Amino acid sequence: MDTFPKAEARARALRQELAHHNHRYYVLDAPEISDAQYDTLMRELQALEEKYPQLATPDSPTQRVGGAAVEDFGQVVHSAQMLSLANIFDDEGLTEFDDRVRKLTGLTQVGYVCEPKLDGLAISLRFEDGRFVQGATRGDGTTGEDVTSNLRTIKSLPLELFPQDGVKVPKRLEVRGEVFIRKEDFRKLNEKREEQGESLFANPRNAAAGSLRQLDPKETAARPLSVYLYECGPSDGLPAFKTHTEKLEYLKTLGLPVNHSQPALGADGIRQRYDESLKGRHALPFEVDGMVVKVDDEDLRRRLGQVSKSPRWAVAYKFPPEEESTLVQDIGIQVGRTGALTPVAHLKPVKVGGVMVSRATLHNEDELRRKDVRRGDTVFVRRAGDVIPEIVTVVLSKRPEDSQPFTFPTHCPVCGAVAAKDEDGAIIRCTGASCPAQLVEKVRHFASRTAMDIEGLGDKLATQLVTSGQVKTFADLFALTKESLLKLERMGEKSAENLLASIAASKQTTQRRFLFSLGIRHVGDSTARALAEAFPQVKALFTASLEDISRVKDVGPVMAQVIHTFFQEPQNQATIQSLLDAGVEPAPPAVSTGGPFVGKTVVLTGTMVGMAREQAKEEVERRGGKVSGSVSRKTDFVVAGEDAGSKLKKAEELGVRILDEQAFLQMLEGNARA
Ligand SMILES: NC(=O)c1ccc[n+]([C@@H]2O[C@H](COP(=O)([O-])OP(=O)(O)OC[C@H]3O[C@@H](n4cnc5c(N)ncnc54)[C@H](O)[C@@H]3O)[C@@H](O)[C@H]2O)c1
Ligand SMILES: [Zn+2]
């Protein structure tokens, strides 16, 4: 049970806590907790003050607007107070609001307007004789900060009013609205800050506030801010508006950027608008944290008046939060199907965007390092729409003193093989050929047509074999039995027999196919061929040095490193050994010790009908010949296709032996082992 002394102590603690968060939010633009968490604290204090009215002090955060104006800026005393809005969070709150309005006005149905609640910061602008003369932040509602020079840098804000035909420029106009930053601009701004090693903004609202409240207007000019206006303050020379809608129309005729506003009749009309705007929330180019509901009729507004810090005629109907702060309990490494090691933050579970979130990906090592997320950190987590949750920023002010940067593992946490960086430098991958985390993908590749060519072993079967535990390494494929295969779902006798036959047939393979099937990163078919030629025996690669491998045709330094690491890995050596033990016989490429091309220099000219130039070259080289680009006395044969020109002529002059396509093919076939 609540007792008064306990409630009093709690209220004092809450006030202190809220004051701290107000300072971080309004003055420093660097909150430590999410808006939803702040709202929860606020509601707890409000409930206590309602229960024990003697606890409500005039300086309680429940009674006051925003935070104090920072003195570094000039101060502006508002000609009429700038208020906050009361919040509602659910349908019950909406019904209460509408009931109260109807009771106070005596109406059975009230006309409202609904507007996006822009998530930025409130400002007040003054135009005199059509010229923009002063702009201020809300501050504590009574006194704001003079940010005139900064506001001048906002491109969408006219510095001079240009009314449409027939509309008179008011003598003095005060307008109120919201400065905000578009999502796209926010993303770019944070990217730029990241590049420059500056701290990131937790969300667009803090980015907008931080950008507008710069002491140097040049800084503000570099930040892409926008502004929408939604209210008039005390002015001189304005028409008398009957409704809010009329007022907004008028502001538009003056050339001012005005917030969207839509009519809604009664609570049901509001409900419909709320559903629509909740659905349309992500399609908007700017962040909204709710919908503002306002009584449309200006006269009714005057009758309803205000309570301590908010008008009675309006309310902010908040959306479910998409951003929360929480604790990083641990950072783990996930190994994906392609072997990529992905850091994942394990979070203290928190509800974001309507679902419980306990994990957030950190994408890769670079991202982790850039954001410098550590165990024990408090972070802001976002989940907008269906997007996967992500960590936006770390709350540095809450980082534990003994915190250590996360060190990325050098070995795969699943199988223990060395983890190596991709050539593009972003992704770190496990190099283990039998790493269970990557096995499905690897088995599928192993069996594919250009690899071991095991017919019938596609993605689906590979998944079944791996998840059923029948295949833990490639070699297990050769130990499969009909009996074990029949245990798999939807596997019939016939398909099992066919599969076993095609597995058995695959044992007679070539060194090229075998090397390709191992799934070494970057080793495609042609690299496999070059490797096979240089290393006809696979086990020679276990002891090959990096230099040996670099000498292979078309193998660059990055690839050489990958290949070297692969064959050094004991796990991979074991896999290869067990494949050989299972009876796989990779035939070395045919090395020609005899035949018409050994040691001969060949020149190819003209167009051949049955074979591309590249292929003809390979065929000659495979038979121990050399292909040269020009004809000389050292040339042994010239192969002349159709339309052969000067090279053919030269060969004739020099008396070099000339082959037409037909003769060339016959010579190839005479020594035609692939
Ligand atoms: N995370 C934190 O630490 C922390 C600290 C303090 C405040 N806050 C957040 O700020 C809120 C309180 O701030 P507040 O007093 O500015 O109230 P508010 O932001 O909930 O609502 C009032 C404000 O809404 C804005 N607004 C946007 N669109 C509008 C429209 N179409 N018509 C009228 N006004 C519109 C105006 O700036 C107005 O001042 C809290 O509920 C919380 O969400 C968070
Ligand atoms: Zn692994």
- CATH code, domain carrying 530: 1.10.150.20
The reported pLDDT for the residue numbered 373 is 96
Which residue, 268, 289, 318, sits at the end of a domain? Answer: 318
Q: Is the CB of 292 under 6 A from ligand 1?
A: yes
The reported pLDDT for the residue numbered 118 is 96
> Does the active-site annotation cover 117?
yes
Say if residue 527 is in the same domain as residue 564. Answer: yes
The reported pLDDT for the residue numbered 673 is 41
Q: What is the mean pLDDT of residues 119-132?
A: 96
600 assigned binding-site residue: no
Distant-in-sequence, close-in-space partners of 103: CB < 8 Å, separation ≥ 6: none
567 is in which domain, residue-wise?
419-587
232 assigned binding-site residue: no
Q: What is the mean pLDDT of residues 485-512?
A: 93
pLDDT band at 672 (very low <50, low <70, confident <90, very high): very low
pLDDT band at 592 (very low <50, low <70, confident <90, very high): low
Q: Is the CB of 136 under 6 A from ligand 1?
A: no
138 assigned binding-site residue: yes
Distance of CA 437 from the midpoint of ligand 2 (Å): 6
Which long-range contacts (C-beta less than 8 Å, at least 24 apart) are formed by 576-583? Answer: 576/518, 576/538, 576/539, 578/473, 578/474, 578/475, 579/474, 579/475, 579/478, 579/514, 580/538, 581/475, 582/475, 582/478, 582/479, 582/507, 583/478, 583/507
The reported pLDDT for the residue numbered 1 is 56
With respect to residue 251, please indicate whether it lies within any of the assigned structural domains: yes
pLDDT band at 591 (very low <50, low <70, confident <90, very high): low
With respect to residue 67, please indicate whether it lies within any of the assigned structural domains: no
Say if residue 218 is in the same domain as residue 148. Answer: yes
Which tokens go with 41? 């604290």
Taking 80 as the threshold, does the pLDDT of residue 612 lie above it? no
Say if residue 335 is in the same domain as residue 309. Answer: no
Distant-in-sequence, close-in-space partners of 76: CB < 8 Å, separation ≥ 6: 124, 134, 136, 139, 143, 144, 145, 146
Say if residue 131 is in the same domain as residue 271. Answer: yes
pLDDT, tens digit, 9 for 90 and up, residues 333-376: 999 878 999 999 999 999 998 789 999 989 888 889 888 999 99
Question: What interface predicted TM-score (ipTM) does this complex get?
Answer: 0.96
The reported pLDDT for the residue numbered 202 is 83
The reported pLDDT for the residue numbered 593 is 67
pLDDT band at 674 (very low <50, low <70, confident <90, very high): very low
Say if residue 175 is in the same domain as residue 248. Answer: yes
Taking 70 as the threshold, does the pLDDT of residue 534 lie above it? yes
pLDDT exceeding 70 applies to what percent of the chain?
99
Q: What is the mean pLDDT of residues 144-172?
A: 94
Q: Is the CB of 84 under 6 A from ligand 1?
A: yes
Which residue, 286, 318, 350, sits at the end of a domain? Answer: 318
Q: What is the mean pLDDT of residues 6-13?
A: 95
Say if residue 183 is in the same domain as residue 139. Answer: yes
Say if residue 116 is in the same domain as residue 235. Answer: yes
In the chain, count of helices (H) and strands (E)? 24, 24
pLDDT, tens digit, 9 for 90 and up, residues 190-245: 889 888 888 888 889 999 999 999 999 999 999 999 999 999 999 999 999 999 99
Say if residue 512 is in the same domain as residue 495. Answer: yes
Beta strands in 538-625 (DSSP E): 585-587, 601-605
With respect to residue 191, please indicate whether it lies within any of the assigned structural domains: yes
Closest atom of ligand 1 to 65 CA is 15
Distance CA 276, CA 154 (A): 30
pLDDT, tens digit, 9 for 90 and up, residues 42-93: 999 999 999 999 988 888 899 888 888 888 899 999 999 999 999 999 999 9
